[in-house]
Amino acid sequence: MIRSLRILAANPMSLFGLILVVIIVLAAVLAPWITPYPTHNGAVVDFAFANDAPSARNWMGTDLVGRDILSRIIYAYQISLVLGIVVLSISVPLGAVVGLFAGYAGGWVESVLMRLTDVFLSVPPLVLAIAMMGVLEPTLINAMLAVTVMWWPWYARLVYNIARSEREEGYVLAAEVIGASTTHIAFREILPNCLPAIITKMTLDMGFVIIIASSLSFLGLGVQPPTPDLGSMVAEGARYLPDSWWLSVFPGLAILLAVFGFNLLGDGLREILGVDE
Amino acid sequence: MSPLLRLLVRRLGISLIVLIGVSILIFCIARVIPGDPARIALGPNATVEQIATLRAALHLDESIIAQYGYFIADLGRGDLGMSLYTNRPVTLDIAEFLPATLELVFFAGVLMVVIGLPIGILSARYRGRWPDHIIRILSLVSVSAPSFVWAVILMLLFAFYLPIFPIAGRIKDIYEIDRVTGFLLIDTLIAGNGAAFWDALRHIILPAIALALSGIGQAARLTRANMVETYAKPYIEMAQAYGFFPSRIARVYAFKPSLIPSLTIIGLDFAAMLGNAFLVEAVFAWPGLSRYGVAVILRKDLNAIMGTVLIIALTFVVVNIIVDLLIAILDPRIRLSQRVGA
Amino acid sequence: MSRILDIVDLKLGFKGYAGLTEVLHGMSLHINAGERVALVGESGSGKSVTARIILGLLQETRTARIAGKVSFDGHDISTMSGSQRAALRGTEMSMIFQDPTSALNPVFTIGRQFTEVLRRRVPGMSNETATAKAAQLLADVSIPDPSRVLQSYAFQLSGGMNQRVMIAMALSNRPKLLLADEPGTALDVTVQAQTLTLMRDLVTDHGTSVLLISHNLGVVREFADRIYVVYRGRIVESGPTKSIFGKPGHAYTRALLSAVPRITGAGLPEVPEISDDFLAPMVTHEAVS
């Protein structure tokens, strides 16, 4: 653990990524205490200060109804991170289990499961999410559902590939000879070897989930106002370019910063854990 | 049958299964939602009779299998139903809007390959030195934001602050161009209208760059990673031992073996642009299928949604097949299977 | 007799975070024209990096610190520029590699690679001329149906066939020096023996000098005129093959020769223990120089 941290620290970009992620996570967790205007995540209006450019009072300016954009961005981070965690908590185990069994059991189980996975993987990610949100009510829960449904196949395929190549390895054959059950071999023998790849992908995926979720809400298909969301903030502000540029630019940069941090961290993890690309 | 042909047939078969699967998936989700699709589509002022009529027309009261049956039957006749949004056949809507999206996505795809791959080669050739570091950071930044963020930034910088490019649309209204292919860049040339061509080009550049940016970054990173791996291979050391020029080794002997594993993912990135087109078309008011798609989704226009999703999935499938064929052509290990001599 | 290769006091170190790691501690060796000299030692002894310094490849590595004099054919190549050294590669000196199949580019035909090699000598050579010459050279190494082989890819041919292709390529431009890095290690023992005979015949015909790097004592004994024994970046013994095998002087050499050879693998015997005697000064056998 200490050694990993030291390797991470030796690579300045990974360290920067770690710092970014830590800052963002802390900001999201401590949101109610650190935001300058804690009530502005809801349906609050303050027309006296509506549509103000960035100033000492509002570092990132205010939106059309007078809410502080910096505060709303921090709350939006909260929502994005929660979304990411929920989506990954469900889709990763689901996908991993499917992939494990398909990869190890083989036979018709493998064919059926992988064909099913292929159907999901065959549609571009955003298109599938859009299509699903299009026929569902736009709420946070549904957005989580839609993204989860389109996410698990990636983990299924990832774990499947590893399980399939590990299937022939010595330690698996040894366990079979001893008479270990399929479940035991899958979970106790093969799965640990998949963990580095899974962890790396999860880190990178946090960023990707943020991109997909903000894209959905940009189109109006995700979280609805007044809940603060980075994508919908950019969408609202897009109509007022270039005059009220801060409406779109700051939320957009907030997305960039968060995803960049997770990507840097994920890349660093990949190097440490020695995962193939 | 040549192995290439066999590959093609197998791919087509899988793609057919996949398309069917996707259609079933969307079909089921659309009809399983809570709420009445007919009522949502007609809006809050609809009368009970209107809703009943629409429900009958859409076969909404029958079993889902029967509904799917109707859908397939109609599909066989090339009928995707009527769009409640435009009040005309969905097929007509697709025919009108699809070329704009395809043109944008193809242009972006070309940018992705033409810019991304050489940058990746450069990065690999100078690995560990400052051009490599800069390129790696820039590539990572470019994949770290969704396309609409890049679209907004590009629009601000190059359409507003530096008014080099136009803000929205495909071409100025003053140009009346006959529609031959639907691709403005081609049609303007066919019509011999040079000014219109330049105008169309100016309109497409910003959206295409916004669409292509993350793909460029991906392609660069991928190419670099594969080439760095290739550079460690014995056959590159042999090329160096024979004194081949480093630039030649980079462009030819290291690049081709690196390209092959990249192709699958480049194909996926290209297809992902089909999804990102939704975002870019919204920002630049580009009159394409994706913008139509968002409109019909917000209106719960079931037929139009199905049609749009199917066409996009079909495009994705075609792109995948082309990529697979390209891989088979480029990689002799897949193309050939016999041993020669002993 | 003239010396085709003369290395004097070659030192090599790699600069890392912890400072300079020294790999070669002042190696000196020479090869006369037409001689076949072997560099023998365990993995990590420094023989492979020596070959790459001769070729000029290691000088490209930024962390490498090289000192000492290397002369090739009377010219001091240690002071040459990178491009001057590159000009010698493939023309005046060439190398064959351990695993012939992986040393050939998998996505280009044999012919494509061969013709490119031939163009190192004659840059403007036309495709037809080059292909014809390549076919002739393949026939010289007893490859049946050369034109079919030229159109094939490395993965379609057997290891032994690829080894012949590599030998043909390496000698095609009539280099003065051939560096052979563990040739045939990746092949069957019988195929290895065949290709070594082939190599020996060809270099004798062409008058090519050879630096053979090996950890296989059997191969060395069959092939080399003189031997340098390397231990941890130092030459510990040198002399004619017969002398070294007959009367090994240095403790390390004796340990090598007396250790039980492994049946599997490349045949280098495992030296059972490390002794301080291995650090004893170099033993030179009087020999024809």
Provide the ipTM.
0.85
pLDDT digits (tens, 9 = 90+) for B110-124: 999 999 999 998 888
Determine the pLDDT at residue A194.
Answer: 81
Average pLDDT over every residue of B34-53: 71
**CA A5 to CA A24: how far, in whole Å?**
19
Determine the pLDDT at residue B12.
Answer: 77
Q: Residue B33 above 80 pLDDT?
A: no
Determine the pLDDT at residue A5.
Answer: 67
Average pLDDT over every residue of A74-102: 88
Whether chain B has a CB inside 8 Å of the CB on C173: the answer is no
Strand pairing partners for C66?
A: C12
Choose between A158 and B175: higher pLDDT: A158
Two tokens at A214?
Answer: 């903000």
- Residue B113: Cβ-neighbour burial (10 angstroms; 0-12, 13-18, 19+): middle
Q: Residue A275 above 90 pLDDT?
A: no
Cβ–Cβ below 8 Å for A218 and B279? yes
Confidence of residue C289 (pLDDT cuts 50, 70, 90): very low
Scored b (16 or more CB within 10 A) or e, A39-48 reads ebbeeeebee
**CA B94 to CA A189: how far, in whole Å?**
51
Whether chain C has a CB inside 8 Å of the CB on B239: the answer is yes
Confidence of residue A119 (pLDDT cuts 50, 70, 90): confident
* Mean pLDDT across chain C: 84
Cβ–Cβ below 8 Å for A126 and B272? yes
pLDDT digits (tens, 9 = 90+) for A120-157: 776 777 877 877 777 677 777 888 888 888 888 888 88
CA distance A181 to chain B (A): 33
* B341: chain C residues, CB-CB within 8 Å: 143-145, 148-149, 152, 157-158, 161
Contact in structure between B295 and B85 (CB atoms under 8 Å): yes
Question: What is each CA distance from C153 to B208, B335, C114, in whole angstroms?
Answer: 40, 11, 12
Cβ–Cβ below 8 Å for A255 and B145? yes
Determine the pLDDT at residue A61.
Answer: 81
Hey, is B322 helix, strand or coil? helix
Q: Which of A198-202, C173-177, C184-188 has the lowest mean pLDDT?
A: C184-188
Determine the pLDDT at residue C288.
Answer: 44
Choose between C271 and A180: higher pLDDT: A180
Determine the pLDDT at residue C278.
Answer: 65
Residue C226: partners with Cβ closer than 8 Å, 6 or more residues away? C35, C36, C37, C38, C238, C239, C240, C241, C287
* B269: chain A residues, CB-CB within 8 Å: none
Cβ–Cβ below 8 Å for B152 and A234? yes
Q: Residue B295 above 80 pLDDT?
A: yes
Determine the pLDDT at residue C179.
Answer: 93
Cβ–Cβ below 8 Å for A122 and B316? yes
Q: Tell me the percentage of chain B whose pLDDT exceeds 70.
A: 92
Confidence of residue B342 (pLDDT cuts 50, 70, 90): very low
Q: Residue A25 above 70 pLDDT?
A: yes
DSSP state of B301: -
Choose between A165 and B108: higher pLDDT: B108
Cβ–Cβ below 8 Å for C107 and B257? yes
User: Which chains does C contact via 3+ CB–CB distances below 8 A?
Assistant: B
Cβ–Cβ below 8 Å for B146 and A211? yes
Omega into A12 within 30° of 0, i.e. cis?
no
Determine the pLDDT at residue A253.
Answer: 93
Determine the pLDDT at residue B339.
Answer: 44
Choose between C9 and C277: higher pLDDT: C9
**CA C113 to CA A130: how far, in whole Å?**
50
Average pLDDT over every residue of C53-79: 86
Q: Tell me the percentage of chain B whose pLDDT exceeds 90.
A: 15
A250: nearest CA partner in chain B: B149
Q: Residue C201 above 70 pLDDT?
A: yes
Instruction: Give the ranges where A35-122 is alpha helix by DSSP (H).
Output: 69-105, 107-121
Average pLDDT over every residue of C226-253: 86
Ranked by mean pLDDT, the top range of A246-255, B36-45, B169-178, B312-321 is: A246-255
Q: What is the pTM of this model?
A: 0.79
Written as one letter, the residue type at B249 is: I
User: Which chains does A contact via 3+ CB–CB distances below 8 A?
Assistant: B
**CA A53 to CA A240: how far, in whole Å?**
12
Confidence of residue C83 (pLDDT cuts 50, 70, 90): confident
Nearest to B242 among C90, C102, C108 (CB): C90
Average pLDDT over every residue of B226-246: 90
Determine the pLDDT at residue B338.
Answer: 44
CA distance B21 to chain A (A): 6
Whether chain C has a CB inside 8 Å of the CB on B336: the answer is yes
Confidence of residue B153 (pLDDT cuts 50, 70, 90): very high
Q: Residue A184 above 80 pLDDT?
A: no
Whether chain C has a CB inside 8 Å of the CB on B233: the answer is yes
Determine the pLDDT at residue A7.
Answer: 66
* B146: chain A residues, CB-CB within 8 Å: 211-212, 214-215, 218, 231, 255
Contact in structure between A248 and A238 (CB atoms under 8 Å): yes
* A208: chain B residues, CB-CB within 8 Å: none
Determine the pLDDT at residue B67.
Answer: 75
Two tokens at C107?
Answer: 């996505």
A146: nearest CA partner in chain B: B29
Chain B, 13 to 52: residues with Cβ < 8 Å from chain C are none
**CA C274 to CA C252: how far, in whole Å?**
9
Residue A151: partners with Cβ closer than 8 Å, 6 or more residues away? A87, A88, A91, A95, A205, A209
Q: Which of A121-130, A228-237, C192-201, C240-249 has the lowest mean pLDDT?
A: A121-130
Q: Residue A258 above 90 pLDDT?
A: yes
Confidence of residue A191 (pLDDT cuts 50, 70, 90): confident
Cβ–Cβ below 8 Å for B341 and C144? yes
Determine the pLDDT at residue A2.
Answer: 66
Average pLDDT over every residue of C41-50: 84
Q: Which of A165-179, B220-234, B280-294, C38-52 has the lowest mean pLDDT?
A: A165-179
Nearest to A263 among B140, B225, B298 (CB): B140
The CA-CA-CA angle for residues B297, B299, A208, to 5°, reads: 30
- Residue B14: Cβ-neighbour burial (10 angstroms; 0-12, 13-18, 19+): middle
Nearest to C107 among B240, B260, B341 (CB): B260
Average pLDDT over every residue of B191-208: 85
Cβ–Cβ below 8 Å for B140 and A118? no
- Nearest of C218, C256, C225 to residue C240 by alpha carbon: C225
* A259: chain B residues, CB-CB within 8 Å: 144-145
CA distance A37 to chain B (A): 25
Confidence of residue A242 (pLDDT cuts 50, 70, 90): confident
Average pLDDT over every residue of C260-284: 59
* Mean pLDDT across chain B: 81
CA distance B330 to chain C (A): 8
Cβ–Cβ below 8 Å for C86 and B330? no
Determine the pLDDT at residue C275.
Answer: 62
CB pairs under 8 A between B and C: 87
Determine the pLDDT at residue B324.
Answer: 78
Q: What's chain B's length in residues? A: 342
CB pairs under 8 A between A and B: 146
Determine the pLDDT at residue A221.
Answer: 82
- Residue B78: Cβ-neighbour burial (10 angstroms; 0-12, 13-18, 19+): exposed
Determine the pLDDT at residue C95.
Answer: 92
Determine the pLDDT at residue B115.
Answer: 93
Cβ–Cβ below 8 Å for C143 and B233? no
Written as one letter, the residue type at B342 is: A
Whether chain C has a CB inside 8 Å of the CB on B330: the answer is yes
CA distance A250 to chain B (A): 10
Ranked by mean pLDDT, the top range of A249-258, B36-45, B268-277, B304-313 is: A249-258
Two tokens at B309?
Answer: 């999703």
Confidence of residue C178 (pLDDT cuts 50, 70, 90): very high
Two tokens at C187?
Answer: 């092949």
Average pLDDT over every residue of A163-181: 77
Two tokens at A188?
Answer: 């106790």
CA distance B340 to chain C (A): 6
